Amino acid sequence: MPGKPYQSKLAPYEAELFQWLDEGLSYRTIAAELNQKYDLGVTYNAVYSFLKKRRPGRGGGRLFFEGFSPDIKDQLLKRITAEWTHDSTAIEGNTLTLGETVQVLELGLTISGKPLKDHQEVYGHARAIDLIYEMIRKKEVTAHDLFDLHRAVMQQAPIDAMNPVGAWKRDYNGTPGIKDGKSVYMEYAAPQDVSKLMERWLEDFNGMEPCTNRPDRAIASYVQAHMIFVRIHPFFDGNGRMARLLANLPVLNGGFPPVIVPIERRSEYINLLWAYENFAGTIKKGSQLLPAHPAIRMMESLLKEEWNKTVSLVEEARKLEVNRKSSD
């Protein structure tokens, strides 16, 4: 008589499975524990498939802003939005300071002497963060989600048939740099390869392991999603901001505050991206998405150092919450 399908075998142990997963055990380790404890004979692929179907949304951990009083939560999210928006747009050349970014977002002010484009970028990025929060817990991210996010990031871009907003690029793009002391130009993915490559990126992204209670896994997921995305460069513009937004989805789903690349580390961050992309070369439809290179681990180390920027904001909010409750 054929054995039970893995869904039937694993269903009685669902709570225990999620507990082990949230404790940071790998799917392979969970399968081994189950087989030793209950003699089930299941594979780690069966465990992965079962948990992915049962987990509500992608991730499942408590979100970093949950559990706060409404006003404390509101102020926490506003501060993170301002920091995230300022640093991500500043990396791309936006001239608004953090204080000016706050004034634009909170008061709707126009900063004298600063380009209208810079104001529009700030509004667009803040709107894109709202969309990222809406995408948390989605069972999967789709190309249409990416197009909506791109429209937010590029909300004031002029209409251009060759440079569409909310659609894959239709022309080649690349970046100049220095290699072995000489000026070189590196092309990103060819327009005709983007659709297939982004199908692979989405499959890889949607299949990431949950990061709940696993900060190292959260950072690794961020770097993996980010570095593959910018290597493809699927849009004519806005790819860096898109990558820094999307790469935070697994982080947020793991219950952590977002990772923010600080403007103060811009040069180091850009150099690591260049070193990696220069090593990996132009990506094609059948290319390996993320070939191993020391720049990956170096990027993880950089982001671990800087993650305290948003973690400290959450801790500050938590202390305020505790002090308020203790004084009631």
Token pair listed for 30:
């969970």
Count the neighbouring beta carbons within 10 Å of the beta carbon of residue 185: 8
- Asked if pLDDT for residue 162 goes beyond 80, the answer is no
In 315-326, which positions are buried (b, 16+ CB within 10 angstroms) versus exposed (e)?
eebeebbeeeee
- Asked if pLDDT for residue 156 goes beyond 80, the answer is no
Q: What is the pLDDT of residue 3?
A: 46
Q: What pLDDT, in 10s, does the model give residues 79-112? A: 999 999 999 999 999 999 999 999 999 999 999 9
Q: What is the pLDDT of residue 11?
A: 79
The question of whether 150 is a catalytic residue gets the answer: no
Q: What is the pLDDT of residue 173?
A: 95
- Asked if pLDDT for residue 57 goes beyond 50, the answer is no
CA separation for the pair 170, 313 (Å, rounded): 41
**Confidence grade of residue 24 (pLDDT, cut at 50, 70, 90):** low
**Selected catalytic residue, list 86, 125, 233, 293:** 233
**Confidence grade of residue 249 (pLDDT, cut at 50, 70, 90):** very high
Task: Provide the percentage of residues in the chain whose pLDDT is more than 70.
Answer: 93
Task: Provide the percentage of residues in the chain whose pLDDT is more than 90.
Answer: 68
- Asked if pLDDT for residue 267 goes beyond 60, the answer is yes
CA separation for the pair 56, 48 (Å, rounded): 14
- Asked if pLDDT for residue 244 goes beyond 80, the answer is yes
Q: What pLDDT, in 10s, does the model give residues 105-147? A: 999 999 999 999 999 999 999 999 999 999 987 889 999 999 9
Q: Where are the domains of the chain?
A: 6-54, 70-319
- Asked if pLDDT for residue 313 goes beyond 80, the answer is yes
Superfamily of domain 70-319: Fido-like domain (1.10.3290.10)
**Confidence grade of residue 4 (pLDDT, cut at 50, 70, 90):** low
**Confidence grade of residue 251 (pLDDT, cut at 50, 70, 90):** very high
Q: Decide which of 157 and 43 is more confident.
A: 43
pTM across the whole model: 0.81
Q: Decide which of 26 and 269 is more confident.
A: 269
Q: Decide which of 8 and 228 is more confident.
A: 228
Q: Whole-number mean pLDDT of the chain?
A: 90
